[in-house]
């Protein structure tokens, strides 16, 4: 299964850090996210939920606590992966800042 990547219509922002969330990489082979799909912000690594409007524009919202419990109970590996991504991203961003600032 090949990961799908692309840009999303609209001007989605991460509801946690406010950075742009207009690109995606699907790990399920879907061509584009649908409402309810999970996303992980590459800037702050928080878990968000996609909301796709009728005009196909995409927003990302914070999950509720019940949704988070549901997500992590259905996908126990996701919690581990999120923690790994947080660690890797911290290293990458630290190196990036050292190199370019």
Residues within the interface to Zn ion (CB under 5 A): 14, 16-17, 41, 43-44
**Residue 44 or residue 79: which is nearer to Zn ion going by CB?**
44
Q: In the complex, what is the shortest distance from the CB of residue 13 to Zn ion, in angstroms, rounded to a whole number? A: 8
Q: Which of 22, 56, 69 is nearest to 42 (CA)?
A: 22
Element housing 93 (H / E)? helix 76-100
**Residue 3 or residue 18: which is nearer to Zn ion going by CB?**
18
Q: In the complex, what is the shortest distance from the CB of residue 60 to Zn ion, in angstroms, rounded to a whole number? A: 9
Q: Which of 10, 5, 3, 25 is nearest to 58 (CA)?
A: 10
The sign of the CA dihedral 84, 2, 11, 101 is positive
CA 75 to mean position of chain CA atoms: 15
Q: In the complex, what is the shortest distance from the CB of residue 8 to Zn ion, in angstroms, rounded to a whole number? A: 15
**Residue 32 or residue 44: which is nearer to Zn ion going by CB?**
44
Q: In the complex, what is the shortest distance from the CB of residue 45 to Zn ion, in angstroms, rounded to a whole number? A: 7
Structure tokens at 2: 């090949």
**Residue 12 or residue 52: which is nearer to Zn ion going by CB?**
12
């Amino acid at each position: 299964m090949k990961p799908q990547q692309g840009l999303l219509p609209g001007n989605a922002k991460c509801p946690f850090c406010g950075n742009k969330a207009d690109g995606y990489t699907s790990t399920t082979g879907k061509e584009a996210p649908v409402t309810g799909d999970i996303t992980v912000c590459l800037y702050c690594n928080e878990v968000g939920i996609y909301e796709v409007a009728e005009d196909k524009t995409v927003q990302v919202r914070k999950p509720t606590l019940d949704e988070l419990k549901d997500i992590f109970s259905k996908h126990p590996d996701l919690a581990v992966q999120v923690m790994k991504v947080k660690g890797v991203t911290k290293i990458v961003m630290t190196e990036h800042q050292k190199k370019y600032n």
